[in-house]
Amino acid sequence: MNLRNLIWHRRHIVLAVAIIAAVGVASSFSVYLMAKQERAEAILETHERAETISAELEKGFQQVLLVARGVAAALARDTRVDETLYADIVARVAPNSDDAVVEFLNIAFSRDLIVQQVYPRAANAEVLGLDYRDYPDQLSHVRQALDNADAVMIAPVDLVQGAKGAIARMRVEDVRTEEITGVVSVVATLDSLFTKANDIAERDGLNLQVIKTGPTSEPMIVFGDAPRTNAEPVVIDFDVLDETWQMRLVPQEGWAIAPADAAFVFIFFGALGGSVFLLFLYIDRTESIRRSAEENLHTAIDAINDGFALYDKDDRLVLCNDTYKSFYPRSADAIVPGATFAEILEKGLRNGEYRDAYGREGEYTAERMAAHTGSNSTFVEELDDGRWLKISERKLSDGSRVGFRVDITELMEARRAAEAGSRAKSAFLDRMSHELRTPLSVLMGYAAFLSKPERLAGRRALEDHAPDAELAAYDAEITSHAEHITRSSRQLLSLIDRVLQVSRAEQESFEAGGQLSLDLILDDLVRAFEVRAGDRCTLELHKAGSIATVDHGDTVRKALSEILRHCVDGFLSAHVEMSVAAQPDTIKIAVEIAGERNAQTPDETIVEPFPKQKSPSSHRDMMSLELAIAERLVLRLGGRFEYRRDSAVRDLVDVTLPKPKDREVENAA
């Protein structure tokens, strides 16, 4: 495992530990908050339930007090009641069994501390005649009732029936005499009241405990057991006449320590942490791949032999290779990411990096910035150290720009050498033309002299000695040789002239060339062809499309003239069809020549600069000198030239020329 992978794995382990710790803390804290919230809600619900239960308990005690007050109020109007009337009074005051919250054991009326009436009588017959003076614990409470205008209550009381109960007492005061005539005692059991309250609590899973408290006495448990848990109970105070009681409620299993969905919380945070870890792995892996791809890209760019640079949409350098910097050593320290092209160019100008900028820095800067900010540009530039660069810059769809720098110094030197060789060849041909023309002129002069044998001194000397027949034969032989010499000399002189025309075609400059009407050029060519060809050749011209002008019209005229000259010189008789058609970006000229070929036309492959391997089907070796000149002129125009010898009696020539248009000016050597 290499160092990079080791660091990569360690970083992931550290991240995993951190995520696990964060998940644990977040889950525990969330569970704590949820438990706290659930406990608060449970306590609130318990409080609400306690209020309901306490209201039920208060209602039971109030019911006992109300019965005591009601019976006392009824007896206050007439204390001398019999058994029947007393039963009727109690039946009307006491609630029926359906409305009773507590169970009433008996309701008694005592006069002079002795029980006179009791209800219900059958179940409580032994209470009749009871003297409170015989029961000190009861006597004090009866005397308390006699001393108070309102009802008094004692609870809880251990009843003889074996249950806890409450006794409410109310004195009876005659409404007419205001004399205290007795005491009404109401005995009720509290077991049913507490049982009903406990049933309500148990339905909600709560433990109920009722405690009687007092300012001086110790709290006394009236109902219920102590909770089985250490949970803090919900305490509600309720009033029982002049006393304060407490009701305590606590869940049977204690308050919840953790929420019910704690497992879901841990699962959620665990899944979230796992997702974060996986997302980090994906991002880290993607970033690693991006960095690796970027490193590979930089390595690949640096491995390119040509200079490469990328500028963003704000024209700031993003990246470049070392080759790009090596081309500009004087401004290399400014070629850094973030530098603008204008800043780099200005640094190069100050240090004399660009030879073309000498003495014209402002104009050069404007030209260079225009080329750089344009959509596409390609040009050649010479540096101060003598190197030549081909500069290509392209604007991308997002507004950024990419530039290439190709060192073409060797190509330019080879071109210069070729041009020098071409000029030397032209000079040599001019010299040879002069050297050859002089003897050829002398030779043709002598041939003209020999064409008239009678001018020869030797011929005049023979007239007196040779017969006329022999002299005639002698004259015919001399004249024949002279004609052969003259014809061969003229052909050789014509060949020299054509070779010089090829040389001039290769050296021809377009600086002074302009646009000419193609119709005018074609009309001139047709007239010249008719004069030169006479009756031997015919020319048929076809034009399609609108063609106004062509660039370098003189050169176009020369090229087409050479093609038509091939028709005249290469055929004894022929029919020529010339078709001219305008295409979107080009002009196509097709020439078809059909007729009897001139067998006397010499093979002029001398115009080929370098011999080439010919295929069996190629007729390039049969191209005439006129077509060779036309081909060079067309290529100089930036067009295409194709020649095919379709058969022994048919030639096809296709010429494609660019249409006139605004062209970008290129710096060329």
CATH of 512-658, one of 3.10.350.10, 3.40.50.2000, 3.30.413.10, 3.30.565.10: 3.30.565.10
Q: Which range, of 129-133, 360-364, 661-665, averages the lowest pLDDT?
A: 661-665
Residue predicted with more confidence, 214 or 114: 114
Superfamily of domain 43-256: CHASE domain (3.30.450.350)
pLDDT in tens, 583-607: 888 899 999 999 988 875 554 444 4
Other beta carbons within 10 Å of 109: 23
Is 43-256's fold the same as 304-407's?
yes
Confidence grade of residue 616 (pLDDT, cut at 50, 70, 90): very low
8 Å CB contact between 552 and 510: yes
Q: What is the mean pLDDT of residues 293-309?
A: 82
Pairing of strands 571-582, 537-544: parallel
Give residue 512's pLDDT: 42
Question: Taking 80 as the threshold, does the pLDDT of residue 220 lie above it?
Answer: yes
Question: Taking 60 as the threshold, does the pLDDT of residue 614 lie above it?
Answer: no
Provide the percentage of residues in the chain whose pLDDT is more than 90. Answer: 11
**CA 160 → CA 60, 64, 105, 168, 535, distances in Å?**
21, 18, 11, 16, 164
Question: Taking 50 as the threshold, does the pLDDT of residue 664 lie above it?
Answer: no
Question: Which neighbouring-strand residues pair with 245?
Answer: 212, 238
CATH number given to 304-407: 3.30.450.20
pLDDT in tens, 82-103: 888 888 888 888 887 777 778 8
Question: Taking 70 as the threshold, does the pLDDT of residue 271 lie above it?
Answer: yes
Give residue 215's pLDDT: 66
**CA 306 → CA 301, 413, 439, distances in Å?**
9, 18, 56
Query: What rounded mean pLDDT belongs to the chain?
Result: 82
Q: What is the mean pLDDT of residues 192-211?
A: 86
Give residue 446's pLDDT: 72
Question: Taking 50 as the threshold, does the pLDDT of residue 615 lie above it?
Answer: no
Give residue 494's pLDDT: 73
Phi then psi for 67, rounded to 5 degrees? -65, -45
Give residue 337's pLDDT: 92
Q: What is the mean pLDDT of residues 321-335?
A: 89
Residue predicted with more confidence, 465 or 2: 465
Question: Taking 60 as the threshold, does the pLDDT of residue 668 lie above it?
Answer: no
Question: Which neighbouring-strand residues pair with 236?
Answer: 247
Question: Which neighbouring-strand residues pair with 103?
Answer: 189
Q: What is the mean pLDDT of residues 28-41?
A: 84
Q: Which two tokens stand for residue 209?
A: 């405990």
What pTM does this model have? 0.43
Confidence grade of residue 236 (pLDDT, cut at 50, 70, 90): confident
Q: Which two tokens stand for residue 511?
A: 């600086």
Q: Which range, of 189-193, 324-328, 484-488, 606-610, averages the lowest pLDDT?
A: 606-610
Confidence grade of residue 554 (pLDDT, cut at 50, 70, 90): confident
Confidence grade of residue 238 (pLDDT, cut at 50, 70, 90): confident
Q: Which amino acid is at 203?
A: R
Give me the DSSP letters along 123-138.
TTGGGTT-BGGG-HHH
Question: Taking 60 as the threshold, does the pLDDT of residue 665 lie above it?
Answer: no
For the ranges 210-214, 456-460, 637-641, the one whose mean pLDDT is highest: 637-641
The whole-angstrom separation of Cα 442 and Cα 445 is 5
Domain extent listing, the chain: 43-256, 304-407, 415-498, 512-658
Give residue 3's pLDDT: 54
Give residue 669's pLDDT: 34
Q: What is the mean pLDDT of residues 381-403?
A: 88
Q: What is the mean pLDDT of residues 542-549?
A: 78
